[in-house]
Amino acid sequence: MSKLFIPVIEGTVRPKRRSIHAARLVHQVASELEDVESVLVDPVDFPLPYDGNDPESKNPKYTELTLKADAFFIVTPEYNHSFPGSLKRLLDSELKNYVHKPVAFAGVSNGNWGGVRAIEALVHTVREMGMVATFTDVQFPHVESIFDENGKLLDEKYIERIQRAYKELIWMARTLQWGRQNLS
């Protein structure tokens, strides 16, 4: 069975973002799974010239990643009960490449809720894009107590939570991959 390609998408470009630590951890866990190939998608590295879905408004490198992807794992901070505009812009740039592909979520916040409201807002968005949201989310509440300032994980329980989310995402990715290949 071939490896699944599952990009991990970091949700923000803000300086001093703590969510990048969570995104790196989610990517690290993916790199340890034998049936997964992954890449960390940092929106800082994928500039988009302007809002739109026409060829001139896309980043060719990101287009290639989304076309190849079998699934996605989005790691997003919560901003004002929702997700960052930089993530929305990235998602909006490649609508046709998301159809019938699953997505898992990790929410990050410095408060008690761990990004659950950002995830709730994302579910509506990805559903409209034709994606299928998994049900095993990962929350990183009080992110400053989960990682030190250098990004070192301080609570090993998060690895098991991420692995559980990947288990569901991989199952959904295999199922939808079969559907894309055999049903039209």
Q: What CATH number does residue 79 fall under?
A: 3.40.50.360
Q: What is the pLDDT of residues 153-166, one digit of tens each?
A: 999 999 999 999 99
For the cut 80, the answer to whether the pLDDT of residue 100 exceeds it is yes
Domain range for 87 is 4-182
pLDDT digits (tens, 9 = 90+) for 119-149: 999 999 999 999 999 999 999 999 999 999 8
CB 49 within 8 A of CB 56: yes
pLDDT of 48 above 90: no
Q: How many domains does the chain have?
A: 1
Dihedral sign, Cα of residue 143, residue 23, residue 84, residue 122: negative
Phi, psi values for residue 10, rounded to 5°: -80, 140
User: What does the H/E/C string look like for 71-123?
Assistant: CEEEEEECECCECCHHHHHHHHCCHHHHCCCEEEEEEECCCCCCCHHHHHHHH
Average pLDDT over residues 96-109: 97
Prediction pTM value: 0.95
3-class DSSP assignment, residue 130: coil
Lowest mean pLDDT among 40-44, 51-55, 61-65: 51-55
Alpha carbon of residue 95 to chain centroid: 15
